[in-house]
Amino acid sequence: MSTVDATLPGSSIFWGPGKDANELEAVPTVRALKSEHPHAILGITDFRGDLSVTIRPDDLLLVAQTLKIHPELQYDMLVDLCGMDDLLLGRTPRFRCIYHFYSTTQKHRVRLEVPLDDAKPSVDSLTPLWKSANWAEREAYDMFGFDFVNHPDLRRILTHEEFVGFPLRKDYPADRRHMLSRTYSAFPGLPAEHEGRQVVLGQDGLERVYVNIGPSHPATHGTLRVQALLDGERIADSRTEIGYLHRCFEKMCETHTYTQVFPFTDRLNYISAFNNNVAWAMTVEKLMQVEVPSRAIWIRTILMEFNRIMDHLVCIGTNLVDMGALTNFWYFFSPREKIYELIEACCGARLTVSYGRVGGVAQDVPENFIEHARATANAIPEFIEYVHQLATKNVIFQQRTRGVGVVTRENAISWGWTGPVGRASGLNYDVRRAHPYGGYETLDFDVPVRTEGDTFSRYMVRMEEMRQSLRIIHQMLDRGIPEGPHIVDDYRVALPEKNSVYTNIEALMNHFKLIMHGFSPPVGEVYSYIESANGEQGFYLVSDGTGKPYRLHNRAPSFYTFAANDEMLRGQMVADFVAILGTLNIIAGELDR
Amino acid sequence: MSSTMPTGVPAPGLPSEPKREGWLTTQLESYVNWGRKNALWPMPFGTACCAIEFMSVVSSHYDLSRFGAEVVRFSPRQSDLMIVAGTVVDKMGPVLKQIWDQMPDPKWCIAMGVCASSGGFYRAYHVMQGIDEIVPVDIYVPGCPPTPEGLIHGIMKLQEMIARGETRSQIAMKAGDPAELATAEDAARRAIAALEDGKLKALADAGRKAS
């Protein structure tokens, strides 16, 4: 009996089958690249619906330019960039640089692979074309030691200044640490005696003051650091320093089995942990072509929307605290506790849930789930209304947020902004709408988009998204819980029933193998993504057919959002820094990974 | 236990035979520690997931103020309890040390969660394997993250240790610079003596009136 309900399409529809050589010829990207740069292409593949083009490193800049400006392609967003070390795969050359592009107008994607020389991995920087390349290339330099020619500021970003070696290379041991002796200035090349707070003379003969904000500062919510050069009350220049929570997520995943990766994904965006669980599960499901039962999709979609609400509650609550409105924080933590209770009833954990599994969820929801979820959902609007009354129409709040920290639509796309921050800048892109998964195409909801791009609009988009999430939750609850199992009946990935483990030798052995060795997906590379609370949460997974991921890269929305920080802050009042930072909702766990 | 007066103290107003020397040297410290344990000013050094649970602990549902520790200060100079909530990575190490050094004595440190206690499941190239590599820790709270009840339990345990004078900071202060300690104790002793004097005079006056 099929466990898949037609009204809740499974995730397989989302990616579709791979294309053969003839079908590939018809793809606009392939056609355009073959006609424009026939000599640059080293290979074209399509695996699980991911189009991937390998090109010669010398031609990267020209090919990227074609991708961006060709009228049929219009890849206006560099979604992600990461390095790759093929040492253990035995390929030559050893290194690759991987680029993921997306067109917000044509809604298509392509992956570029650029093989790099073993001895001197070097390639042109894409910073002249996309602003998002700036930090992403610094990360690839930090992790793999790639040299990006013409990069404006190529230095370490996640690890500290006294770090030696490139940790994501395969010959670097996962636990080799290097101690840091002191804190360094975020302004590179600053003399040691200028570090810390220091008054300096500008070229106009007026005084400038260095102010260090963070990484332990009440407004930075964790571990962000901005060093600002102040001209009076205005920020003349600033440097954003990250990496104060770089927990080596990607290296850790390479040393754990596929199921053991779930707890690590919890701790990426720990405010809405379940969304990361689903993003990771869907990545492996895409690689292994596992069809998820309707019941699991139903549970996932409801809990993902609750997590989205929870994320926005914290973001707005703490943002308002920073602007001096403490009451809203208490108002918003109250429903958050209620959502915690619902999640705790499902999986026993409040924050870091580890509830997702490949092929479904870890266990079934409790019997009274629908009533419990409905009561929780019904309790939330009251608090949203309180905060609307307290903050939204408040004159002080409006004056502090309207027209502050403006990011235009073009800049937002160039920086790779997705999620609420992108939609507040007029970028109408929501993965749930553009590339539906988990039954979103059957649901009635609005995607709030505003055009101002300021702090106020980012706040308003989040407030409205909470309402829309509630609409989704109510629609799903009205449909009732689909019959069937909560996890796919597939011995490759799902644990057998505990009953049969005790009574049946095959089930016992299967259980033992899955627990001790995990499962081994086929060889291949996939990129899968969902709309998490902060935007496009993507995983680029490379499998070598063993029980552990060969390489896993997380495309974290916060990382690309925060990269724009210095440009946004220039010319702003220093007091507005905290208001701007709060609406970006930077979560250090996924920023630094 | 938590909010009662230290045992062995004569009830106020009824000193039958005040032995002033002994009373001052043995009881002053327990009075001071009783005050210290019920007025903790936490400074949250929140870095990661545990900081979110810390927010739950201080907000209305779990309400840390019931335990006399709600005055959260983000300045280390105004606080005496550092709660390290979350993973501390090597890049953060010098920052943590600097903030700890800025806190005035006596001061206490709680490692909230397994990352702060031992590095947790991040046995990795950039993660400190427990903050006790660089700062002294009084209480380790297990969990990833600990439940709010877990953290509250840790704070109550710390309060018991403070009452008994067993925390690292208190032990170090006892063994620390004698001159500085003597000045502080001297001042306290004089203050108490003045109080006692006043109280005795009042009692004597009352006695004279009664007779």
Q: How far apart are CA B84 and CA A170, in angstroms?
A: 33
- The CATH number covering residue B115 comes to 3.40.50.12280
Encode A302-343 in three state secondary structure: HHHHHHHHHHHHHHHHHHHHHCCCHHHHHHHHHHHHHHHHHH
Q: Which of B45, B125, B151 to mutate to test the interface with A (most CBs of A within 10 A)?
A: B125
Whether B16 shows a pLDDT value over 70: the answer reads no
Domain final residue pick, A241, A272, A304: A241
Taking a contact as any Cβ pair under 8 Å apart, which residues of chain A between 222 and 261 contact chain B?
Answer: 222-223, 243-248, 251-252
Task: Say yes or no: A200 and A120 in one domain.
Answer: no
pLDDT computed for residue A9 by the predictor:
38
Mean pLDDT of B192-206: 68
Q: Does B23 map to a domain?
A: no
- Label residues A516-543 b or e (16+ Cβ within 10 Å = b): eebbbbeebbbbbbbbbbbbbbbbbbbb
Mean pLDDT of B36-54: 87
pLDDT confidence bin for B208, thresholds 50/70/90: low
Task: Say yes or no: A225 and A283 in one domain.
Answer: no
Task: Say yes or no: A38 and A87 in one domain.
Answer: yes
Task: Say yes or no: A347 and A471 in one domain.
Answer: yes
Taking a contact as any Cβ pair under 8 Å apart, which residues of chain B between 2 and 31 contact chain A?
Answer: none
Taking a contact as any Cβ pair under 8 Å apart, which residues of chain A between 107 and 136 contact chain B?
Answer: none
Residues of B in contact with A158 (CB under 8 A): 126
Q: Compute φ and ψ for B12, nearest 5 degrees.
A: -60, 140
Task: Say yes or no: A105 and A141 in one domain.
Answer: yes
Q: Please indicate whether, in this complex, the C-beta atoms of A246 and B60 are within 8 angstroms of each other.
A: no
Min Cα–Cα distance to chain A from B116, Å: 12
pLDDT computed for residue A17 by the predictor:
54
The partner residue sitting opposite B46, judged by closest CB among A179, A222, A248, is: A222
Taking a contact as any Cβ pair under 8 Å apart, which residues of chain A between 295 and 354 contact chain B?
Answer: 314, 329-330, 333-334, 336-337, 340, 350-352
Q: Please indicate whether, in this complex, the C-beta atoms of B92 and A218 are within 8 angstroms of each other.
A: no
Helix ranges (DSSP H) in A26-165: 28-36, 60-69, 133-144
Element (DSSP H or E) covering residue B57? helix B49-58
- A176-182: which pairs have CB atoms within 8 A and are 24 or more residues apart? A176/B125, A177/B90, A177/B125, A177/B126, A177/B127, A178/B90, A178/B125, A179/B90, A179/B93, A180/B90, A180/B91, A180/B93, A180/B94, A181/B94, A182/B94
Q: Does A287 map to a domain?
A: yes
pLDDT computed for residue B207 by the predictor:
65
Q: How far apart are CA A285 and CA A305, in angstroms?
A: 21
Q: Please indicate whether, in this complex, the C-beta atoms of B92 and A223 are within 8 angstroms of each other.
A: yes
Q: Please indicate whether, in this complex, the C-beta atoms of B49 and A351 are within 8 angstroms of each other.
A: yes
Q: Name A540's bridge partners.
A: A527, A553
Given CB atoms, is A172 within the 8 Å cutoff of chain B? yes
Mean pLDDT of B197-207: 68
Q: Please indicate whether, in this complex, the C-beta atoms of B121 and A246 are within 8 angstroms of each other.
A: no
Task: Say yes or no: A236 and A297 in one domain.
Answer: no
Q: Does A461 map to a domain?
A: yes
Task: Say yes or no: A77 and A215 in one domain.
Answer: no
Strand order, beta sheet including A234-241: A198-201, A207-213, A225-231, A234-241
pLDDT digits (tens, 9 = 90+) for B128-152: 998 988 888 899 999 988 989 999 9
Residues of B in contact with A248 (CB under 8 A): 122, 124-127
pLDDT computed for residue A274 by the predictor:
92
Q: Is the dihedral of CA A187, A191, A197, A200 positive or negative?
A: negative
Q: What is the DSSP string of A423-483?
A: HHTT----HHHHS--TTGGGS-------SS-SHHHHHHHHHHHHHHHHHHHHHHHHH-PPS
Q: Does B151 map to a domain?
A: yes
Residues B33 and B165 sit within 8 Å (Cβ to Cβ): yes
Given CB atoms, is B87 within the 8 Å cutoff of chain A? yes
Task: Say yes or no: A431 and A467 in one domain.
Answer: yes
Q: Does A4 map to a domain?
A: no
Q: Does B125 map to a domain?
A: yes
Task: Say yes or no: A323 and A462 in one domain.
Answer: yes
Min Cα–Cα distance to chain A from B15, Å: 47
Q: Please indicate whether, in this complex, the C-beta atoms of B61 and A337 are within 8 angstroms of each other.
A: yes
Cα dist from A105 to A73, A109, A267, A312, whole Å: 9, 11, 33, 27
Residues A261 and A517 sit within 8 Å (Cβ to Cβ): no
Task: Say yes or no: A237 and A139 in one domain.
Answer: no
Q: How far apart are CA A552 and CA A213, in angstroms?
A: 32
Of B41, B62, B66, B44, the closest CA to residue B149 belongs to B62
Q: Please indicate whether, in this complex, the C-beta atoms of A334 and B61 are within 8 angstroms of each other.
A: yes
Residues of A in contact with B90 (CB under 8 A): 160, 163, 177-180
Q: Which of A172, A223, A265, A274 to mutate to test the interface with B (most CBs of B within 10 A)?
A: A223
Mean pLDDT of B56-85: 84
pLDDT confidence bin for B2, thresholds 50/70/90: very low
Task: Say yes or no: A387 and A422 in one domain.
Answer: yes
How big is the A-B interface in CB pairs under 8 Å?
130
pLDDT computed for residue A305 by the predictor:
93
Residues A118 and A94 sit within 8 Å (Cβ to Cβ): yes
Give the predicted TM-score (pTM) of the model.
0.85
Please compute Rg for chain A using Cα positions.
24
Q: Does B205 map to a domain?
A: no
- Domain hosting B135: range is 37-170
Q: Please indicate whether, in this complex, the C-beta atoms of B124 and A175 are within 8 angstroms of each other.
A: yes
Q: Please indicate whether, in this complex, the C-beta atoms of B86 and A245 are within 8 angstroms of each other.
A: yes
Q: Please indicate whether, in this complex, the C-beta atoms of B91 and A243 are within 8 angstroms of each other.
A: yes
pLDDT computed for residue A141 by the predictor:
93
pLDDT digits (tens, 9 = 90+) for B100-115: 888 888 889 999 999 9
Whether B197 shows a pLDDT value over 90: the answer reads no
Which residue of chain A has the CA closest to B87? A245
Q: How far apart are CA B170 and CA A579, in angstroms?
A: 40
- The CATH number covering residue A71 comes to 3.30.460.80
Half-sphere exposure of A376 (CA within 13 A, CB side): 27
Please give the tally of structural domains in chain B.
1
- What would the two tokens of residue A360 be? 């479904």
ipTM of the complex: 0.83
Given CB atoms, is B90 within the 8 Å cutoff of chain A? yes
Cα dist from B23 to A160, B162, B180, B184, whole Å: 54, 20, 22, 17
Residues of A in contact with B59 (CB under 8 A): 329-330, 333-334, 337
Given CB atoms, is B100 within the 8 Å cutoff of chain A? no
The partner residue sitting opposite B124, judged by closest CB among A160, A174, A180, is: A174
Q: Please indicate whether, in this complex, the C-beta atoms of A248 and B74 are within 8 angstroms of each other.
A: no
Q: Does A173 map to a domain?
A: no
Q: What is the DSSP string of A157-201?
A: SSS-TT--S-TTSTTS-TT------S---SSTT--GGG-SSEEEE
- The CATH number covering residue A480 comes to 1.10.645.10
- What would the two tokens of residue A542 be? 């490379």
Q: Does B132 map to a domain?
A: yes
Please give the tally of structural domains in chain A.
3
Task: Say yes or no: A237 and A262 in one domain.
Answer: no
Q: Does B181 map to a domain?
A: no
Q: Does B103 map to a domain?
A: yes
Min Cα–Cα distance to chain A from B69, Å: 18
Residues A169 and A145 sit within 8 Å (Cβ to Cβ): yes
Element (DSSP H or E) covering residue A562? helix A557-562
Helix ranges (DSSP H) in A227-368: 249-254, 261-266, 273-288, 294-322, 326-347
- Domain hosting A54: range is 12-149
Q: Does A456 map to a domain?
A: yes
Q: Does B98 map to a domain?
A: yes
Q: Mind listing the pLDDT tens digit of every residue in chain A (593 residues)?
A: 334 443 433 333 344 556 677 778 778 888 888 888 888 888 888 888 888 889 998 889 999 999 898 888 889 999 999 999 988 888 888 899 999 999 998 888 999 999 998 888 999 999 999 999 999 999 999 999 999 999 988 888 999 888 898 999 998 988 888 888 887 777 776 665 565 557 776 677 777 788 888 787 776 676 888 888 888 888 888 888 898 999 999 999 999 999 999 999 999 988 889 999 999 999 999 888 888 899 999 999 999 999 999 999 988 988 888 888 888 888 888 888 899 999 999 988 888 899 999 988 988 899 999 999 999 999 999 999 988 888 888 898 888 888 888 899 999 999 999 999 999 999 999 998 888 888 888 888 999 999 988 999 999 999 999 999 999 999 999 988 888 888 988 888 888 888 888 999 988 998 998 888 888 888 889 999 999 999 999 999 999 888 899 999 999 999 999 999 888 888 888 888 888 888 888 888 888 88
pLDDT computed for residue B187 by the predictor:
63
Min Cα–Cα distance to chain A from B209, Å: 56
Q: Does A88 map to a domain?
A: yes
Mean pLDDT of B29-55: 86
Domain final residue pick, A115, A149, A183: A149
Q: Apex CA A85: angle with CA A81 and CA A86, to 5°? A: 125
